[in-house]
Amino acid sequence: MKRRKKKVLVLPAPDGLKEIRRMYDGEVDIVRGAFKNIQFRFNHHLSITHKGIDLKDFDFVWVSSLLSTRDMSRSISLYLEHHDVPHTAVNDGEGASKLIDLTHFYLKGLPTPDTFFQQRQNLSSSSVNIESICRFPLVVKDIKGSRGKNSYLVSSKEELMELIDTLPKNRNFVFQEFIPNYYDWGILVAKGEVVSAEKSFPASGEFRNNACHGAREVFVDVDEVDQRLKNIAIKSCEVLNLEWGRADIVIEKDTNDPHLLEVNRFPGITLDSSEVTAFSGYLRKRLENESII
């Protein structure tokens, strides 16, 4: 019986890959990889593909963590680890991005909106994939943006194509289904405990629920927060290894289903709110643990 040829993806491919292939004399199928051909599909389940082939179907993936693609490399590494696919080690010391966090959330079964990602230079050819996964209206987000900066609501394919042409060339973006809502939750977690909770109601005509974009904040006693929302917030911080963070969870208005949007590592503190008390209490415990006070 003929043995199946092993399939190896080299991402990205070095200049000498052709010569490297010759050294294996056809024993191994070495695939020339390029980050521009990688697609992330967060749609009921996560799949990461290269030219339509799921990365978990390779026998080995040689992935290099370049400065410009470090978040992609780390997300790919997480995916391969989850599916027990051998691969080169990727430095875990890179900065955070929405792409890495989404990968963590999906692999841990947290409820998040359907999302599509591909590098900036190949977006124009991916409008069909974006539409089929995210549908319209959809939200476009800078993967390293915060407080709603560089976020856009898009209602049609025509709007999408126009926007893609104008997006900053030096930034990458995720495309995400828009969840119709009346408000979203900001649930603050300190060392695995919910310590503050608020509802944010968007300003008229605004799709973002950020206070800096005019949203109205209503603080709620943590005892009144649904336990399933607390569980999502606590778990989202756990999977990111955060002692302190605020989970932003939007509630779909027709189904009442929660969708985890992101975890803010440096959430703003609203004066005269439970956030002030929570921050003060958290800081005191840390200082006491370090014998500083």
**Residues 192 and 162 grouped into a single domain:** no
Query: For residues 70 and 240, which has the higher predicted lDDT (pLDDT)?
Result: 240
Query: For residues 124 and 286, which has the higher predicted lDDT (pLDDT)?
Result: 124
User: Does residue 57 sit within a domain?
Assistant: yes
**Residues 195 and 262 grouped into a single domain:** yes
pLDDT at 233 over 90: yes
Give yes or no for a contact between 54 and 47, defined as CB atoms under 8 angstroms apart. yes
At 286 the pLDDT is: 72
User: In degrees rounded to 5, what are phi and psi of residue 104?
Assistant: -55, -50
Q: How far is CA 93 from CA 70, 88, 107, 135, in A?
A: 9, 15, 20, 34
At 95 the pLDDT is: 62
User: In degrees rounded to 5, what are phi and psi of residue 100?
Assistant: -65, -45
- Which CATH number fits the domain that encloses residue 256? 3.30.470.20
**Residues 19 and 64 grouped into a single domain:** yes
User: Does residue 105 sit within a domain?
Assistant: no
Percent of the chain past pLDDT 70, that is, above it, reads: 94
At 125 the pLDDT is: 87
Mean pLDDT value across residues 12-37 = 83
For the segment 176-211, what is each residue's pLDDT rounded down to a tens digit?
Answer: 999 999 999 999 999 899 999 999 999 999 999 988
**Residues 154 and 78 grouped into a single domain:** no
- Which CATH number fits the domain that encloses residue 15? 3.40.50.20
**Residues 91 and 124 grouped into a single domain:** no
Rounded Cα distance between 153 and 140, Å, is: 6
User: Does residue 27 sit within a domain?
Assistant: yes
Rounded Cα distance between 61 and 78, Å, is: 12
- Which CATH number fits the domain that encloses residue 145? 3.30.1490.20
**Residues 166 and 195 grouped into a single domain:** no
User: Does residue 100 sit within a domain?
Assistant: no
Query: Does residue 1 sit in helix, strand or coil?
Result: coil
**Residues 84 and 129 grouped into a single domain:** no
* Domains: count for the chain: 3
Map tokens 């999502």 to a residue. Answer: 232
pLDDT at 225 over 80: yes
Percent of the chain past pLDDT 90, that is, above it, reads: 60
User: Does residue 263 sit within a domain?
Assistant: yes
**Residues 56 and 86 grouped into a single domain:** yes
Rounded Cα distance between 222 and 197, Å, is: 6
**Residues 89 and 165 grouped into a single domain:** no
**Residues 200 and 147 grouped into a single domain:** no
pTM of the model: 0.84
User: Does residue 150 sit within a domain?
Assistant: yes
For the segment 75-123, what is each residue's pLDDT rounded down to a tens digit?
Answer: 999 999 999 999 987 755 556 789 999 999 999 999 999 999 998 878 8
183 membership: H or E segment, kind and range: none
**Residues 62 and 86 grouped into a single domain:** yes
Identity of the amino acid at 250: V
> Shortest CA distance to 66 belongs to which of 38, 108, 85?
38
Highest mean pLDDT of the ranges 20-24, 67-71, 107-111: 107-111
Q: How far is CA 112 from the centre of its chain?
A: 9
At 91 the pLDDT is: 58
At 290 the pLDDT is: 63
At 1 the pLDDT is: 56
Q: Which of 47, 64, 95 is the last residue of a domain?
A: 95
**Angle of helix 70-82 relative to helix 98-107, nearest 10 degrees?**
10
Q: Which domain holds residue 140?
A: 115-177
106 membership: H or E segment, kind and range: helix 98-107
Q: In sequence order, which residues have a C-beta less than 8 Å from that of residue 273 and are 6 or more positions away?
A: 196, 198, 217, 219
**DSSP secondary structure of 228-245:** HHHHHHHHHHHHTT-SEE
At 28 the pLDDT is: 84
For the segment 33-64, what is each residue's pLDDT rounded down to a tens digit?
Answer: 999 999 999 998 999 999 999 999 999 998 88
DSSP strands (E only) in 162-282: 173-177, 184-190, 193-201, 216-220, 244-251, 258-264
